[in-house]
Amino acid sequence: MIELDDFKEVISKYKVIFFDAFGVLKTYNGLITGVDKTLAFLQQNNQDFYILTNDASRSPAQLAAYYNRLGVGSITPASVISSGMLAREYLSLKVKTGTVAYLGTPDSTCYIKDLGLNLLPIKDLDLNNIADINALVLLDDEGFDWNYDLSKTINLLRRRNIPVVVANTDLTYPVSKQQVAIAIGGLADMLETLVGKRFIRFGKPDAQVFIYAYEQMKNYPNVAKNEILMVGDTLQTDILGGNKFGLDTALVLTGNTQIEDAEVRISSTGIIPTYICESAVIR
Amino acid sequence: MIELDDFKEVISKYKVIFFDAFGVLKTYNGLITGVDKTLAFLQQNNQDFYILTNDASRSPAQLAAYYNRLGVGSITPASVISSGMLAREYLSLKVKTGTVAYLGTPDSTCYIKDLGLNLLPIKDLDLNNIADINALVLLDDEGFDWNYDLSKTINLLRRRNIPVVVANTDLTYPVSKQQVAIAIGGLADMLETLVGKRFIRFGKPDAQVFIYAYEQMKNYPNVAKNEILMVGDTLQTDILGGNKFGLDTALVLTGNTQIEDAEVRISSTGIIPTYICESAVIR
Amino acid sequence: MIELDDFKEVISKYKVIFFDAFGVLKTYNGLITGVDKTLAFLQQNNQDFYILTNDASRSPAQLAAYYNRLGVGSITPASVISSGMLAREYLSLKVKTGTVAYLGTPDSTCYIKDLGLNLLPIKDLDLNNIADINALVLLDDEGFDWNYDLSKTINLLRRRNIPVVVANTDLTYPVSKQQVAIAIGGLADMLETLVGKRFIRFGKPDAQVFIYAYEQMKNYPNVAKNEILMVGDTLQTDILGGNKFGLDTALVLTGNTQIEDAEVRISSTGIIPTYICESAVIR
Amino acid sequence: MIELDDFKEVISKYKVIFFDAFGVLKTYNGLITGVDKTLAFLQQNNQDFYILTNDASRSPAQLAAYYNRLGVGSITPASVISSGMLAREYLSLKVKTGTVAYLGTPDSTCYIKDLGLNLLPIKDLDLNNIADINALVLLDDEGFDWNYDLSKTINLLRRRNIPVVVANTDLTYPVSKQQVAIAIGGLADMLETLVGKRFIRFGKPDAQVFIYAYEQMKNYPNVAKNEILMVGDTLQTDILGGNKFGLDTALVLTGNTQIEDAEVRISSTGIIPTYICESAVIR
């Protein structure tokens, strides 16, 4: 049987904690009972923490407000790092003019607004009038009709050679204890195969989101990488990315990885967390 | 510049001709002008021909009727070999009882009816009542809501370990001179990646559809493989599959492969047709 | 715990048995004790059997002689079907003249000799004199220097657009209870990725080797597919290929699939054998 | 025809230039004639430059000495950023004790020496004595026997679940005008597929090497990303990685991308450089 580490002991060794959100702090049911105590404990001890999420469907402000409504006051917009922020940085540096087409809800455009670029949902795109489209951004799996708009997207990419940015690399996400839904990252993989082009993906396990968080830290650069712990529920994103960036990593068993298959998955993938803990809840 | 072979000379060397349908005999616009003469010429010379198609959305009888309406009387249901027929054979041999779930239109179920199995479209599936589902068949990209039914399909496959049959391996298909649509084979690739299981695919370039056609030939086994020519517009399906099965192959430039990029594609893929012809039309 | 089927009962239901060789009839240690009784039992009952192997390093005559030396007289060259035979058929139908370059031992060329083609090992190839090379065949992982000859092979394929035939699709093979070696199929995958071209692979799970065996059967076509059982130790080749061709399949646990992970692998791959038996030995 | 930008004009717009080495500053033949003038021009104008290379076979000091011998005095060890430096950082942060097994020459171990870890070439590894092996590093394609040591590596990874670090992501490298050789990155891909585990790769296009260079810059953080130009010959590494990190990029046509296929490749990959220049030589 797998031997579990005590989460309180583990986090006590680090100056800064990076948390994944889904499967670590919350589930489809809301906040995981007790994680508010963990965050309060960190705040008392002057240990900073940040939330690193591949969810680009809502803004940091919206995400922080969500936690605040659930009674977790310690999460502020400044403590949320989303892959959507990297998509925004990319566009601001690399796309100067014209129109950005997107797949996602109106809410998910929060990351790419106010850049001086026109935004156009794929559903409103006229395929006979695409000379002005200078980038495509995949933001969220909701907000469009897959039957029509995915084929429309392919036809756009066959005619315009433009950068395609994927703001969320997750393939699926849980919607109940038993069920998952296909995420925009899963649709992105299909589109990339069908058009044969390289998309630009932002989100864990890619190093860029860790660097972005690292440089946003309040005490940067006075915290070394080995003073930071990444806590996550998914080997392929949180743990692989944290390991590669040089952080210690803690796998928690409240989300994508269940206790009964943690060992098999670690051994079959070769992705090895520094610690394995039951949850991010302290006793 | 690429040197083209004369189609009439080429086909005159073979006893039997296998034709792909889309991009060879017809396009989104209907029959390619002049292919009726080619088929009449073959009939006069007692050269048999068969249509090998990855299209499992309509039955051989419906496909033959389509050509007959356009004035091509020489195409009969017996001369049409569809990947749907292999999906049917698989189910009849390997799934004895229970219910087969499917993605596709009611028309596309023609291949899997009358096998003594219940058929259930994914949209009518109750995920709490799946003990009786013994197979899933992907038939057509139409007839269901992608937003809902693709995620539903994933949830079925996470809970029931059943064979999944893909009756059409094409990734996209043309809907106009400029535009394509995502085919069920493209959706199948995404679903297979997301659930991490091996689906069973029928259709060119897989050998099984060529064998099926070979054994259906009127004069089988008195025709040798080197007396058969496969005519197609797609390197990855028609030409690769024909080559591997040991047939000579003719690429025509009226569909997926255009004259301006034929050479680059042959060289970059390493899929080499025996002949390259402008079209399947004889002068 | 997994429930095992009785092998004697299982094979008694079928007219013809197809056996994989490695991991089913033999291991790196020689014959699996007791399989000779199984084959004798089949012979007494007039049940035909054939060996379907992805091993193209030795000829059917050499393979049969190997079994005969171990006291299994019932295996004849005619009962051995190797993926090398399909490579031979391909060359005989599709490559009329010139030189065939190859990777493998001199023994492994048995399949491609006597076709009127010159044979040239890659190690003797002069890259300045390649106009006559009309095909490349990958036969065996032994007989050449990987450091030099694999890069040499890439350089040949960058300059000559020729068909590449892989006569063994296995990625690795066991050399002791604990250790494996990289097979020519594993090297082929690397070369295919590096040159970006489509190789032509023969061997299970591809349908073509099953059809070849099916048509070689003594009583063909008087045996139906559902009267044949495929027995193998590997889900991805023996079981997947047998299932797809429409045969019933029996997984034995004496090779690549061990009893402790059979269930997990069947469930995670979605490749489902009709039966699971401890071994191909009858009590 | 493709329109080329003037390299001198292009570089004059940026404060800092990042150069790829192979195919940009040098080839298998030595220094590209005239690039020394480019570097002298930059030095005169107080524009800093750095070399970002995926070559981990020699140390920055050895690489700088190589250029110095060719008369380019402006390249110092501090201006060379190699993917090997990231492999070193990873080991120093994540592997505290024990032995690191490696594939490569003795020279290539320069990056992983002096970390307090034992180093052991795979060829000296005893597979019966592996409890102490805590990581594997793939450094260089030379220095070992591929026939034996690649299979040995697989057997190590089947028994020890340890991190595997790839210090060079290139798949092949040119050895003459016509010929390439397989690089350690190509071998790494094969090994990763064969063992089914996730390796940790360092090198362009991954963001981490760009960040490492960015933070090593003399004037960091007083140079913004849009004041840096990445110059490279390879779309998939230099240009893709530079673009994603938010830098402007210049493709030069003296290495992997030739003028005659630049347009086709840009269009088929969707990797779009900001500029295309004949070479990194100024007139």
Residues 6+ apart with CB under 8 A from C135: C91, C94, C95, C98, C100, C101, C117, C162, C163, C164, C165
**pLDDT tens, B241-270?**
999 999 999 999 999 998 988 998 999 899
- pLDDT-derived band of residue C279, with 50, 70 and 90 as boundaries? very high
User: Residue A261: what pLDDT?
Assistant: 85
Element at B19 (helix H, strand E): strand B16-19
SS (H, E, C) D216-247: HCCCCCCCCHHHEEEEECCHHHHHHHHHHHCC
Q: Which of D154, D181, D193 sits opposite C151 (nearest CB)?
A: D181
User: Residue C137: what pLDDT?
Assistant: 98
CATH of B94-201, one of 2.140.10.30, 3.30.360.10, 3.40.50.1000, 3.50.50.60: 3.40.50.1000
User: Which tokens sit at C197?
Assistant: 């071209």
Q: Residue B42, class by beta-carbon neighbours within 10 Å (0-12 exposed, 13-18 middle, 19+ buried)?
A: buried
Q: Report CA A13 to chain centroid distance, whole Å.
A: 25
Neighbours of C178 (CB within 10 A): 11
**A237/A272 Cα distance (integer angstroms):** 12
Please name the residues between 135 and 164 in chain D that touch chain C, using a CB distance below 8 Å. 145-147, 150-151, 154-155, 158-159
8 Å CB contact between D54 and D84: no
Say if the Cβ atoms of B270 and C89 lie within 8 Å: no
User: Which tokens sit at B184?
Assistant: 């069920």
**pLDDT tens, D250-277?**
999 999 998 988 998 999 899 999 999 9
User: Residue A1: what pLDDT?
Assistant: 64
Q: Report CA D221 to chain centroid distance, whole Å.
A: 23
Q: Residue C234, class by beta-carbon neighbours within 10 Å (0-12 exposed, 13-18 middle, 19+ buried)?
A: buried
User: Which tokens sit at A235?
Assistant: 């080997």
8 Å CB contact between B89 and B69: no
Say if the Cβ atoms of D145 and C147 lie within 8 Å: yes
The count of C-alpha atoms lying within 13 angstroms of the C-alpha of D142, restricted to the half-sphere facing its C-beta, is 10
A180 touches chain B (CB under 8 A): yes
Give the chain D residue nearest C156 (alpha carbons).
D179
β-pairing verdict for D133-138 and D99-103: parallel
Q: Which of B146, B155, B194 sits opposite A186 (nearest CB)?
A: B194
Which residues on adjacent β-strands are paired with residue A80? A51
Chain B contact partners (≥3 CB pairs within 8 A): A, C
Tokens 């049987």 belong to residue: A1
Residues 6+ apart with CB under 8 A from C81: C50, C51, C52, C53, C60, C209, C212, C213, C216
- pLDDT-derived band of residue D169, with 50, 70 and 90 as boundaries? confident
Cis peptide before C221 (omega within 30 of 0): yes
Cis peptide before D174 (omega within 30 of 0): no
Let me know how many helices (H) and strands (E) chain C has, helices first: 9, 15
pLDDT (average), residues D199-214 = 94
Chain C contact partners (≥3 CB pairs within 8 A): B, D
Closest CA relative to residue C275, chosen from C5, C53, C1: C5
Q: Report percent pLDDT > 90 for chain D.
A: 87
Say if the Cβ atoms of A244 and D90 lie within 8 Å: yes
Instruction: Please tell me which residue, D264 or D132, carries the higher pLDDT value.
Output: D132
Q: Which of B164, B207, B236 sits opposite C208 (nearest CB)?
A: B207
**pLDDT tens, D2-29?**
899 999 999 999 999 999 999 999 999 8
β-pairing verdict for A26-27 and A30-31: antiparallel
* DSSP label of D4: P
Q: Report CA D159 to chain centroid distance, whole Å.
A: 30
Q: Which of C246, C247, C269 sits opposite B197 (nearest CB)?
A: C269
pLDDT of residue D32 exceeding 80: yes
User: Which tokens sit at D79?
Assistant: 């201006």
**C25/B229 Cα distance (integer angstroms):** 40
User: Residue C178: what pLDDT?
Assistant: 83
* Min Cα–Cα distance to chain B from A164, Å: 18
Say if the Cβ atoms of C158 and D145 lie within 8 Å: no
8 Å CB contact between B27 and B281: no
Cis peptide before C60 (omega within 30 of 0): no
**pLDDT tens, A232-262?**
999 999 999 999 999 999 999 999 998 988 9
pLDDT of residue D178 exceeding 90: no
- pLDDT-derived band of residue D1, with 50, 70 and 90 as boundaries? low
pLDDT (average), residues C142-165 = 97
Q: Tell me, which fold does domain D97-201 have in CATH?
A: Rossmann fold (3.40.50)
**pLDDT tens, C169-178?**
899 998 988 8
B171 touches chain A (CB under 8 A): yes
Closest CA relative to residue B231, chosen from B3, B47, B85, B108: B47
Q: Which of A145, A150, A180 sits opposite B154 (nearest CB)?
A: A180
Neighbours of C77 (CB within 10 A): 12
Which stretches of chain D are DSSP H helices?
7-11, 35-44, 60-69, 83-94, 146-159, 184-195, 207-216, 240-245, 262-269
User: Residue C169: what pLDDT?
Assistant: 87
Q: Domain spanning B7-54+206-277: which superfamily?
A: HAD superfamily/HAD-like (3.40.50.1000)
Chain D contact partners (≥3 CB pairs within 8 A): A, C
pLDDT (average), residues D151-169 = 95
Task: Tell me how far CA of residue A172 lies from CA of A175, A239, B150, B160, D160, in angstroms.
Answer: 10, 17, 12, 18, 30
Q: How many residues does chain B have?
A: 283
> What ranges do the domains of chain B cover?
7-54+206-277, 94-201
**D116/D119 Cα distance (integer angstroms):** 9
pLDDT of residue C242 exceeding 70: yes
Architecture per CATH, domain C84-201, reads as: 3-Layer(aba) Sandwich (3.40)
Say if the Cβ atoms of C198 and B243 lie within 8 Å: no
Q: Domain spanning D7-54+204-277: which superfamily?
A: HAD superfamily/HAD-like (3.40.50.1000)
pLDDT of residue C182 exceeding 90: yes
pLDDT of residue A121 exceeding 80: yes
**pLDDT tens, D79-89?**
999 999 999 99
pLDDT (average), residues D78-102 = 96
Neighbours of C74 (CB within 10 A): 14
The count of C-alpha atoms lying within 13 angstroms of the C-alpha of D190, restricted to the half-sphere facing its C-beta, is 28
| Chain A residues touching residue B158 (CB < 8 angstroms) | 180
Cis peptide before D205 (omega within 30 of 0): yes
Amino acid symbol at A48? D
**D190/D92 Cα distance (integer angstroms):** 27
Interface mutation target, options C138, C202, C245, chain B, most CBs of B under 10 Å: C245
Q: Tell me the ipTM for this assembly.
A: 0.93
Q: How many residues does chain D have?
A: 283
Interface mutation target, options D83, D86, D90, D93, chain A, most CBs of A under 10 Å: D93
User: Residue C261: what pLDDT?
Assistant: 85
**pLDDT tens, A136-153?**
999 999 999 999 999 999
pLDDT of residue B43 exceeding 70: yes
